[in-house]
Amino acid sequence: MAAPDLVAAESAVDVAEGVVANAIRLLAGRNIDDHQVVAYDVAHAAAALDSARTMLDYGGLGDIEARLATAFVADAVADLISKVAGREEDWDAKPDAFESTLPFVRDHRAPAFLAALAADGREGGPRHLDADFELVQDTFRRFAEEQVKPFTEHVHRTNADVPETVISGLAELGGFGLSVPEAYGGWATGGERDYLGMVVATEELSRGSLGIGGSLITRPEILTRALVTGGTEEQKHEWLPRIAAGEVMCAVAVTEPDFGSDVAGIKVTATPDGDGWRVNGVKTWCTFAGRADVLMLLARTDPDRGKTHRGLSLFVVPKARAEGHGFELTQDEGGRMGGRAIDTIGYRGMHSYEVAFDNWYVPGTMLIGGEAGLGRGFYLQMEGFENGRLQTAARAVGVMQAAFEAARDYAEQRTVFGHPIADYQLTQVKLARMAFLIQAARQSMYRVGRLMAGGEGALEASMVKAYVCKAAEWVTREAMQVHGGMGYAEEFPVSRYFVDARVLSIFEGADETLALKVIVRRLVERLAG
């Protein structure tokens, strides 16, 4: 069995990056929409190689780290080879482009290498967090174990509401104030520790439950970022302390029935009415809209639809709390708001709503940024959404970690043909792949968090979201498969991990749109710049 070879791994990444760069140059001179299949594969390959670079650094921290890193790099390069095979002209790749990488890939994808990694990397490898973040991890893991997990199966199986005790407990822990600046009652100090604290906490909460754990802090995070970036001082002092304290819970109303990731075309309007605005239209996939105290609403304030995203503005829309799967609200000002929950196969507890507005009155003070915020709504919501993509990666890592632990433990306990299934090579290779995918995702989100803290990393956040969420589907599926028939039984939580993971590539930017409209286009721009 080969020893982990980081030098060969780096050389393989260099070769793979060269192939991807050639494909990007080719796409730069073409209409991307006429070459969507290759562009999609290029986006995911670039994302995988970005994580591979991160894992090369991680691999230098110890032996198990090196083995996880080289296994991941070999896996990523092998996946790229399969994407290019038969489509060399579309990638501008020579037939022997990967020849020099094959000995490395062969050695580090060898079943014996991976089986040994499963045994020695049973815990998935060190995270290399400093003491402060180990404390954050321990604190939120304990909360998830003690206050989230006891409710997860009941909420999922009955499609119930998030328990109020979870919300109040998370508020007491400071979970809603992780990105709120200290000056407004939160914990954020303006450095990379804010981002790292957020992803560490999100992973641990999502390990407990995606629906009633990790996702609870996502919407407050998105609204917080929008307010910090573009809100007036009065708005910041009005809303941020209440968000940090958990006094105000948020939902995000951006998507519409005909406009999902293509938000520039949205139809919901906000028209002037005295000192305020009247909102009309329908939003959909508005998660937590029933229980929420406010909606972060993106609406068209300029009737000239030709202005697309430049005619949109962002509002904080207060509303009464509602329980269950539907609500009807009225105002003294004559407005109506109605919501119906959209039943989903997973990601239950918060409920995703279709919300209809009929002349709903919003005071002028609720326009984020005031008069200066007119037409800036798209940019302000993207400020939150780009960070939301990083947070979604953290949610995916938490779900993957839970699935990996469940598969590992079940494999060690379940005996088939006289042996625990953990003794069989096929199971060992599956567990090894889970371990290195999870660690690569985790280390990548740490790095992207540091980049975003420095005002960079928007492209990398999109890439890590795209790659990790696809990986989560594989990890949770194979964790379910390791359980055999019991994986298909609702009495084991692994089935919940599988259906929860499926939503990750859909929300916060559908995978195809993220790859074609964001990642590839930014890669082309970066190459040109």
CB atoms within 10 A of CB 63: 11
The answer to whether 409 touches 402, Cβ cutoff 8 Å, is no
User: C-alpha angle with apex 525: 524 to 529, nearest 5 degrees?
Assistant: 120
Task: Give the C-alpha separation, 203 to 396, whole Å.
Answer: 8
The answer to whether 148 touches 211, Cβ cutoff 8 Å, is no
DSSP per-residue string spanning 287-347:
ETTTT-SEEEEEEE-SS-GGGGGGGEEEEEEE-----TTEEEEE-TTS-EEEEEEE--SSS
User: C-alpha angle with apex 211: 480 to 368, nearest 5 degrees?
Assistant: 145
Task: Give the C-alpha separation, 237 to 230, whole Å.
Answer: 13
Cα separations (Å) of 107 from 43, 45, 114, 341, 463? Answer: 27, 21, 10, 51, 28
Task: Give the C-alpha separation, 227 to 235, whole Å.
Answer: 7
DSSP-derived pairing of the beta strands 326-330 and 312-318: unpaired
Name the active-site residue from 247, 328, 508, 512. Answer: 508
Q: How far is CA 3 from the centre of its chain?
A: 34
The answer to whether 310 touches 264, Cβ cutoff 8 Å, is no
Task: Give the C-alpha separation, 469 to 391, whole Å.
Answer: 11
Q: Phi/psi of residue 284, each to 5°?
A: -135, 170
Task: Give the C-alpha separation, 350 to 212, whole Å.
Answer: 7
Residue 209 tokens, joined: 């439950």
What SS3 class is residue 256? Answer: strand
CB atoms within 10 A of CB 510: 15
Helix 111-120 crosses helix 63-84 at what angle (to 10 degrees)? Answer: 140
Instruction: List the beta bridge partners of residue 507.
Output: none
Comparing CA positions, the residue from 208, 153, 145, 213 lying closest to residue 491 is 153
Active site residue 508: yes
| Residue whose token pair is 């020695």 | 120
DSSP per-residue string spanning 171-233:
HHHTGGGSSSBGGGTSSB-SSHHHHHHHHHHHHHHHHH-TTTTGGGGHHHHHHHHHHHHH--H
Q: Which residues are catalytic?
A: 508
